[in-house]
Chain A
Amino acid sequence: MSVENGTLLAVEDLHTWFEVRKWGFVHVGYVRAVDGVTFSLDQGEAVTVVGESGCGKSTLARTILGLYPPTKGEVRFLGKPIKAWGRRYHSMLGYVQQDPYGALPPFMNLRRILLEPMVINRIGTKREREERIRQVLEEVKLTPVEDFLGKFPHMLSGGQQQRAVIARSMVLNPKMIVADEPVSMLDASVRVEILQLLQGIQKAHNLGVIYITHDLSTVRYFSERIFVMYAAKIVEKAPVKELLGNPLHPYTKALLAAIPDPDPENAKVFKEVPPGEPPSLLRPPTGCRFHPRCPHKIEGLCDREVPPEFEPMPGHFASCWLYR
């Protein structure tokens, strides 16, 4: 977040709603998957969006990638709305999907997979392309490169597949990478390897990274800031250390308390967890969306008024009436 790094991505009051129809034509309502999200990302900065499944974090990622049109609000990349970039936008972004095997076409070998983005964007001569493919494979440590060029995705282990996906996202030298749960399908020991690899790449190329995860315990090792999402809204934004050490929003507190560290003492105590489940995004609760589960609910306020973003500490934002 240094001064010479300008803003890379600005998300302003972003809404992505999906229409739900009955029998194909009767309007039922909207699933408000992203409902008023605002943040900005500097060049070379890594942020994490954390939240439970169904909170809209993947929709947020896909809207930022331009895969879903926003219902309201705007995504600006380097100061220009993404529409204005046209198809060039996609060549400046890398996307690392959750399921590496599903993300790689099974009938293409690695060379072909990595060649594809350059063919589509008409970049480089034949020799330059071949050289770039070798470069990225070196970078994600799929070495010796010769051994991997001809391999098909099913011949690779889970960790290697995810490396291949990362290599593909890097081929066009993007300015930003969106990683949607890049390690959730992998084993613990491989997870660390992949996160360290991503971090290395991010530092080496001064990339902006949006890391989406449900696993708070990996966040510490990766990003500078965390955004906590609950029911389609960001409820808390803070630097990593600050958020882990001093969570403000009751939801964040609950989330942190629920995550176990490997400690044999865990077996002896019951965890304090708020009951219930996240609300339906078709008809979200009025007021604060966490209020039905919140232990600190203020009657007459939390269930009526949507809490704005408060800044109880510099750089630490929480959308909660407790901090008014």
Chain B
Amino acid sequence: MRTATETLLKVEDLKLYFRTTKGVVQAVDGVSFEVGKARSVVVVGESGCGKSSLAKAILRLLPRNVHTYSGHIYMDGVDLMSLSDEEFRRNVRWVKISYVAQGAMNSLNPVIKVGEQVAEALLIHTDGVTRREALERVQEVFRFVGVPLDFIDRYAFELSGGMRQRVVIAMALITHPPLIILDEPTSALDVLTQANIMNSLKRIKKEMKVAYFLITHDIATSSELAEDAIVMYAGQIVEMGEAGHFYLTPKHPYSEMLMASVPTLREDKELRFIPGQPPSLINPPTGCRFAPRCPKRFSMCDSEPPMVELADGRKVKCHLYG
């Protein structure tokens, strides 16, 4: 979505459909975007809009009931979709892209010391690393994310939520990947802890030149890290562009209403909510998927809107700008 920086990851027409007893769920439906080198991109949207599925589709962490999985994911000139599962596991996961899953801090192994769990990621994904070297690396990343070094020998249950989250981030960092996907990394944490972790993430980004792909429903917090923003609705991208544009002047009617529903602390604004509910992804509306809830809909909205590029470089999927 930018020309100024080099492209790190390029996703084209990515689709991920699931088979369920009720029908085919179109969780990610033709999504295309780019992530620049050392940029941080946030993906926002309501729950159930396909954000987490998008992360899983990029990482090829798929459940068994996949119906369709297609599109292209380019990284370093290679189409990741053409790799075999084993090649993908060995050359991409944790080497090029690592992942902090939603609620990962609650999935740490309770009977293995956290330092060893973090080291394990390095031992598995890098050849020729000894245990001792790995544990030294752990100290390094722990210092980076702000975990006291004596925590290496502790178990997950001895750590607070904030510390566990830092451990999970350390695990994603230890292999030095150029891209980290963070799925709701702070949603279960308190405001002060959240702010502390956001500070750490900013520092890590600055010093390690890593790109973030941050998935969240918390728009206020997402602004802490955003350089580019992607708004998803019902499995599709409806708006993407520089964060500065999105937070100040959202263009798509959905992004506009989403922003209007975010409570602010420092200014008095009247909150609005979006009437109705997101559509079912089993039989999404034809044409614009937001049209049934959109106050600005008109006759053209029955047909699928194109992705329109505006003068300021952002893209909006809406007939209003067509």
Contacts and interface: CB of A to CB of B under 8 A. Distances in A.
Interface of A: 52-53, 157-159, 187-193, 195-196, 214-218, 220-221, 244, 254-264, 266-267, 270-271, 273-275, 277
Given A52-B191, A189-B46, A270-B203, A262 B219 contact: yes
A155 B118 CA distance: 41
A192 B47 contact: no
A288 to B, nearest CB: 17
List 7 A-B pairs, minimum CB-CB distance, nearest first.
A258-B195, A52-B190, A193-B273, A264-B244, A192-B273, A189-B274, A217-B263
Contact of B271 (A158, A192, A214, A258): A192
B117 to A, nearest CB: 21
B218 interface: yes
A220 B271 CA distance: 11
A277 B162 CA distance: 9
A188 B257 CA distance: 11
Most chain A beta carbons < 10 A, residue from B225, B246, B277: B277
B271 A221 contact: yes
Interface in B224-256: 224-227, 243-244, 246-248
A264 B248 contact: yes
A245 B271 CA distance: 19
A258 B198 CA distance: 10
Contact of A255 (B162, B192, B221): B192
A217 B192 contact: no
Size bracket of the B interface:
35 or more
Contact of A259 (B244, B265, B271): B265
Interface of B: 40, 46-47, 160-162, 190-196, 198-199, 202-203, 217-227, 243-244, 246-248, 257-259, 261-268, 271-274, 277
Contact of A267 (B202, B258, B266): B202
B148 to A, nearest CB: 11
Contact of B223 (A195, A196, A262): A262
Contacts of A266: 223-224
Contacts of A244: 265
Nearest to B189: A53
A132 to B, nearest CB: 27
Given A192-B271, A220-B265, A277 B258 contact: no
B265 A256 contact: yes
